[in-house]
Structures are given as structure tokens and as C-alpha cells.
Amino acid sequence: LDETGLPAELIDIELAETALTLDEERASEAIRRLHDLGVTIAIDDFASADQHSELIRQLPIDQAKVDFSILPPALTGAEAEDVLAIRRHGERRRAGHAAIERAIQQARTWGLDVTAKRIETIEHLTLLRQFGISRAQGYVLGRPVSESEFGEFASKLRKIA
């Protein structure tokens, strides 16, 4: 931050849950220092955070990123007409939906902002509305771009803003 002069509020750091557990004391200290500077701290793959929930709850975490890829893709071709495949697909969808809903509820209970990640279908966008989530990332919203492409995009935004 000192070197670039970039305001800390513009920086979001995403941490995998496993990164916290490698050296809990050191990770906790680093997170607290960054948070005190104004950096936003997010836990990636929050749906799996049950295992280390007490540690996560004690840290100054701002955001939970919930992975929507646990929802199975739509059935196509012969599968779409196979009664057993349809039944199994429905069971996987219900289980995935329930896991996502639990993660979102837990994050909100802890006062965390929720960002949905891996939003890749219109169906995922519809679920966002149902869950009341306004932050998302994924291919259906936009593909990753190079630094130069982003620069061009930002320039265009500045012109219309």
C-alpha cells in the first residue's frame, strides 16, 4: 500500500479456508493488520466453512464467497429423458440448493456480505434474486479479461460516467 499509494478500501483479499488453518496464529495476525488498514477480507468457498467456523467467526472477515458450482448443470440429450437420471439430478439439485442456502444464512448471521461465485447460468442468476444476493461473479456475467482489455473497458466507463 505504501509503495503504490493505492487506497486500502479498494483492495479485496480472498482467502481460502485452508490458508487460515496452516498457521492460525500467523494468519489471524495478518488478517487483523490488513483489516485495520481498511482492506476487505473475504473467505473463499464459504459453503465449506463449517469445519473451521469458530476461527472464521473470531476474525475480522467482511465477506463470504459462496460457490454456486455445487448445483448440477441441466440435463441434456438422453439423460433428460431418463427417469432415474432426472430423479438423481433432482436430488443433487435439492442438496446443492440446501447447502448454498445454509452457507448464505450462516454468513448473514455473522454479519458478512455475501458474494455468489461461479455464476454460469441464467438459473443461477434467478437463484441470486431468490436468496437476495446482489454481488456475483461468473462467466454468465463476464469472462476474465487481460489487463489491456480491462484498461479499455475502464476508459469507456470513465467517458460515460
For residues 136 and 117, the answer to whether their CB atoms sit within 8 Å is yes
No. of helices (H) and no. of strands (E), the chain? 6, 5
Against a cut of 0.95, is the pTM above it? no
At a CB cut-off of 8 Å and minimum separation 6, what does 41 contact? 12, 13, 15, 31, 34, 35, 59, 60, 61, 62, 63
Query: Grid coordinates standing for 43?
Result: 473467505
Q: Of 11-15, 19-23, 95-99, which gets the smallest average pLDDT?
A: 19-23
Interval 87-143: pLDDT, tens: 887 888 888 888 888 889 988 988 999 999 988 888 888 888 888 898 899 888 888
**Residue ranges in the chain assigned as alpha helix (H):** 17-22, 24-37, 53-58, 83-109, 122-131, 147-160
